[in-house]
Amino acid sequence: MSSLPTSTPAAQGVDASGVAAFLDALEADPHLEPHSLMLLRHGQVVASGWWAPYAPDRLQLLYSLSKSFTATAAGFAVAEGLIRLDDPVISYFPEFEAEITDPRSRAMLVRHVASMASGHAEETLDRARALDRDELVRGFLLVPPDKDPGTVFAYNQPATYTLAAIVQRVTGERLTEYLRPRLFEPLGIGEAAWIADRRGRELGFSGLHATTDAIARLGELYLRGGVWQGERLLPESWVAEATRVQIAHETATVNGWADWQQGYGFQFWMARHGYRGDGAYGQFCVVLPEQDAVLAITSETVDMQRVLDLAWEHLLPAFGAGPLPGGGAADAALADRLARLALPPAEGKPVPAGRAEDWNTSFTPHGGTCADRPALTGIEVEPGGRVVLVDDGDRLEVRFGAGESGWTVVDEPVPVAVSGGWTDTETLALDMAFLETPHHLLVTCSLGDRTFTARWRTQPLHGGPLRRMRAPRSA
């Protein structure tokens, strides 16, 4: 994989102090944990950094930022004449023809599922799954739209799933297979992996694992109108249509967030500045045509609007019209800071003196399971820093206390970084960062009653046992 070209902020007209202020604001917000950042200006990387224990070559679960990659696959299929935007969706699934009788469902076009304008007034995922757990397209088409397709916006996972299913059906390939020679290889994107459903279809609406670098490259391709290093990959017309308002929002607000009120394209959100793909808990590909810039971010937060607010506040004023003279010292200070980014580890001490034998024991769950807790059945602790989580018949071994940064990383069977230790003679508290996702698992073991609690700081949206908290492996 070739590296993206790099430059100093000042040479590309970016005030390094503005980037530093953005970093300050990200790190100061208690409800926001940044994991990575790449900023491109005029096609050059002017700032990039990963907060240890996250790293540049680490795949990340992109959640709904996956949708923008799905749209790109659809753009290739349209260019190759395999899909037509004004075809009825049902025409690609003739096996459901007799069952789908609702006139609005039958009137739904490919462009409607591409733009979240299927006619449904709200998310249909649960209803579609209830109607057909094994074939989500059929379940989706059996949910009657509330209004005529093309007249109302609703963020709707089965719409994107259906678009992805059409691409996979007409190409005979999974999304990653189809995109490899058309997008990943030309852009220099290395490994990427997508969660598939029980039918073997890659989800489309979520589940793509890719690097921050891949996010930045996708943004740069769209910023350049579908051209990469002088070669046209995507039609300019597709990029223009995907990144303009296809459907407006009827409601005055979406989540109360201003940047979710600006309209929707083909699996891209319009924003107060530019447009973007984004995913749950703060995964962003922000494209700023007026500034000729791309911002790629991975993070963990429930307040995604806050990330954009901070970008508008600090980064937009940092973009100048031309090179900035005299920026050498600020550029050097920013580069040094970016090289040293790290998340603060959870505090903890070694096993209390004289208590090692007591702590060489097992723990059972305290209380019942709920949405923010994994269904762990046991935890085994060794006072030397080894912990085994017993989950769904699996034994996930992690370690803590051995890393110089305060984080101890294990890569198999699941990439996890662990910090923490004993907070007193009776309590062991650990922070486990699942490095190919945005999520942290907080574990506390109590010696007095030999019980533990484990809760997610932010709840994983795909669920399942801990062994699935990583990029899927190739078969």
Per-residue pLDDT tens listing for the chain (475 residues)? 568 999 999 999 999 999 999 999 999 999 999 999 999 999 999 999 999 999 999 999 999 999 999 999 999 999 999 999 999 999 999 999 999 999 999 999 999 999 999 999 999 999 999 999 999 999 999 999 999 999 999 999 999 999 999 999 999 999 999 999 999 999 999 999 999 999 999 999 999 999 999 999 999 999 999 999 999 999 999 999 999 999 998 654 456 789 999 999 999 999 999 999 999 999 999 999 999 999 999 999 999 999 999 999 999 999 999 999 888 999 999 999 999 999 999 999 999 999 999 999 999 998 765 556 788 999 999 999 999 999 978 999 999 987 778 999 999 999 999 999 999 999 999 999 999 999 999 999 999 999 999 999 999 999 889 999 999 986 5
127 in any annotated domain = no
Domain that holds residue 22: 10-80+165-339
Determine the Cα–Cα distance for residues 438 and 335; give it in Å rounded to an integer. 25
Domain boundary among 339, 366, 399: 339
Closest CA to 279 of 260, 255, 298: 298
Domain boundary among 287, 312, 339: 339
**3-state secondary structure at position 182:** helix
Q: CA separation (Å) from 9 to 16, 91, 336?
A: 6, 51, 13
Strands across the sheet containing 394-399: 394-399, 386-391, 376-382, 361-365, 451-456, 440-446, 427-434, 416-424, 408-410
Strands across the sheet containing 60-61: 60-61, 208-210, 193-194
Which residues lie closer than 8 Å to 381 by C-beta, 6 or more apart?
359, 360, 361, 362, 363, 387, 428, 445
Which residues lie closer than 8 Å to 238 by C-beta, 6 or more apart?
75, 78, 79, 226, 266
Q: With left for phi above 0 and alpha for psi between -120 and 50, is residue 332 left, alpha or beta?
A: alpha
**3-state secondary structure at position 208:** strand
> pTM (2 decimals)?
0.96
**372 and 302 within one domain:** no
Give start and end residues of each alpha helix (H) in 208-301.
Answer: 212-223, 236-242
Exposure string over 182-211, b if 16+ CB within 10 A, otherwise e: bbbeebebeebbbbbbeeebbbbbbbbbbb
143 in any annotated domain = no
The CATH number assigned to the domain holding 76 equals 3.40.710.10
**334 and 365 within one domain:** no
**How many independent structural domains does the chain possess?**
2
The CATH number assigned to the domain holding 375 equals 2.40.128
Secondary structure letter of residue 240 according to DSSP: H
